[in-house]
């Protein structure tokens, strides 16, 4: 990367067990066995207090996985193509993902493989966590593209919009949502809840309340919200402020923490 152009500084804020703001300028490459031609940044993990692992993957042309990612039998995973495209395989089924495309691989499906033969770089998000089984319910492989899902008005506010990427039925113990604020849109109240989130900013700019601090957030940033951390956002700037985020759901709290 060479010498810096200015005094070293960062917008990154890491509060272990509470929250984290990680801008793209601070990402470093993590070597993951079986992944070739990619810059892989692990932006959330139990080392910071998260109950899941999330990766931001810059896949260059020719990049590929030599083995499935998140292939542990008890682990579920979700791959989202933020930019570019890639060829993806889950449980022997192969599909081409373009921008906005995604796949959910349930526990026991053997994880996710991908390759990039498009001739252009792709930006991928990979999420994985341990699945919590529920008697009489199951989660299945789910393919889709966020661009094919219409937004709906969020909580009665006509300047905030949301879409669900996964089914809301009880077999799924997680979901992925896309939330979008028109300029000046905001959460209806400051949220404080047991769920945690991993959020990747797809477009625009906003300010986010995390615990007791407002932080500027923009496209390319990753934010982790720990359980019970007060949180709320305003969309600012001239266009929509939009991000994709994870949420654990549909399960009671276990004492086995």
Triad 178, 181, 182: Cα angle to 5°: 135
Rounded CA-CA distance 175/191 in Å is 18
**pLDDT value of residue 150:** 97
Rounded CA-CA distance 127/52 in Å is 7
Tokens of 46: 């139990």
Q: C-alpha 145: how far from its chain's center?
A: 15
**pLDDT value of residue 257:** 55
10-residue stretch averages of pLDDT, the chain, 257 residues long: 87 97 96 96 98 98 97 98 98 98 98 97 98 97 98 96 98 98 97 97 98 97 98 96 98 82
Triad 85, 91, 92: Cα angle to 5°: 75
The sign of the dihedral angle between the CA atoms of 127, 128, 133, 136 is: positive
Q: C-alpha 65: how far from its chain's center?
A: 19
**pLDDT value of residue 200:** 98
């Amino acid at each position: 990367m060479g010498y810096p152009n200015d005094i070293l500084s960062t917008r990154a804020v890491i509060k272990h067990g509470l929250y984290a703001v990680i801008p793209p300028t601070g990402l470093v490459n993590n070597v993951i066995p079986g992944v070739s031609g990619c810059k892989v940044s692990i932006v959330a993990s139990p080392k910071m207090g998260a109950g899941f692992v999330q990766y931001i993957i810059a896949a260059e042309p020719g990049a590929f996985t030599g083995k499935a990612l998140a292939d542990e039998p008890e682990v579920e995973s979700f791959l989202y193509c933020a930019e570019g495209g890639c060829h993806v395989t889950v449980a022997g089924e192969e599909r081409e993902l373009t921008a906005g495309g995604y796949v959910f691989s349930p526990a026991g499906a053997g994880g996710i493989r991908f390759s990039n033969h498009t001739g252009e770089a792709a930006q991928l998000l990979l999420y994985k966590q341990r699945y919590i089984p529920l008697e009489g319910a199951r989660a299945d492989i789910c393919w889709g593209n966020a661009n094919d899902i219409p937004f709906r008005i969020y909580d009665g506010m006509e300047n905030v919009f949301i879409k669900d990427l996964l089914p809301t039925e009880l077999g799924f113990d997680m979901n992925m949502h896309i939330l979008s604020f028109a300029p000046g849109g905001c959460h209806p109240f400051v949220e404080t809840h047991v769920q945690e989130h991993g959020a990747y900013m797809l477009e625009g700019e906003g300010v986010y309340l995390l615990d007791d601090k407002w932080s500027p957030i923009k496209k390319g940033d990753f934010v982790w919200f720990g359980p019970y951390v007060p949180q709320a956002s305003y969309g600012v700037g001239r266009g929509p402020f939009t991000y994709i985020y994870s949420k654990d759901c549909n399960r009671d709290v276990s004492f086995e923490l």
